[in-house]
Amino acid sequence: MYEDIKVGDKLQIHCYKHDGTIDRISGEATVLDITPDVLVCANNKVKLTENDGRTHRTKETAILFFYKNEWFNILAQLKKYGLFYYCNIASPFVIDGKIIKYIDYDLDLRVFPNGSFKILDRLEYKYHKKQMHYSSRLDFILKYELGNLIEKVRVREVPFDQETVNKYYQKYLELKDNKKN
C-alpha cells in the first residue's frame, strides 16, 4: 500500500463524497511517519479547493492522521490559543500515486484544548444518508466509529495528547529545515 511513499514525500489529499464526486482537494502534505495502520502527515497554511471551485488557505500548521482500518481521520491543529482537533468520520484512506484519497461522511468531531468536544454536521449527514442511499450497515459503522472516536478523546488516546502532536510537529520542522539546507 505504501511501497512508493517515504518520509519527506509530498502528497495531495482528495476528499470524496459517497457518490464518488470530489468534495475537496488539499494541497501538499509532508509525510512524517508510515506505520502498518497510520499515515501521519503535516501541512501549513495549505490551499484548499472546494467542490464549487472556491479556494482558501488553512490558518495554521496541522498534523494529519490517516488510518488504514479506522473510519475516521484526525487533524491536530496547532492554533495560537491551543491544540484543537478536527476529526472527520470518513472511510479508511487509500493511496493512489501521490494522492491520499478517502470518502467523507459529513459527521465531524471538534475537540477543544480542554478536552471537551462537539459533534458537527448531523443534519448534513442525515441529508446525504438519504440522498446517497447509505446502507443500514454503513450507517451503523459510521455511528459506531463516531462513538469509538469519542472514547479515544475521553481517554486521551494517541493522537489526542500534546506529546504525540509535539513530536510530529518537531519532525515536520526538521524536514522543512533539511529541505532548506
- The string of pLDDT tens digits covering residues 66-82 is 999 999 999 999 999 99
Mean pLDDT (whole number) for 129-157: 97
| Nearest alpha carbon to residue 12 among 92, 77, 97 | 97
Q: How do residues 148-162 score in pLDDT, each as one tens digit?
A: 999 999 999 999 999
Given a contact cutoff of 8 angstroms between Cβ atoms, the answer to whether 102 and 15 are in contact is yes
The pLDDT value recorded for residue 53 is: 86
Task: Look up the pTM and report it.
Answer: 0.95
Q: Distances from the Cα of 4 to the Cαs of 10, 14, 41, in angstroms?
A: 12, 18, 15
| Torsion angle (degrees, nearest 10) of CA 31, 32, 36, 38 | -90
Quick one: what percent of the chain has pLDDT higher than 70? Answer: 98
The pLDDT value recorded for residue 4 is: 85
Q: Report the helix count and the strand count for the chain, using DSSP H and E.
A: 3, 11
- Provide the grid cell at 110: 471538534
Tell me whether residue 119 is exposed, middle or buried, using C-beta atoms within 10 angstroms of its C-beta: 0 to 12, 13 to 18, 19 or more: middle
Q: How do residues 51-68 score in pLDDT, each as one tens digit?
A: 888 999 999 999 999 999
Answer whether residue 1 shows pLDDT above 60.
no
Decide if 24 is catalytic.
yes
The pLDDT value recorded for residue 178 is: 77
Answer whether residue 144 shows pLDDT above 80.
yes
Answer whether residue 15 shows pLDDT above 90.
yes
Q: What are phi and psi of 55, to 5 degrees?
A: -125, 155
Which residue among 24, 110, 122, 137 is the active-site one? 24
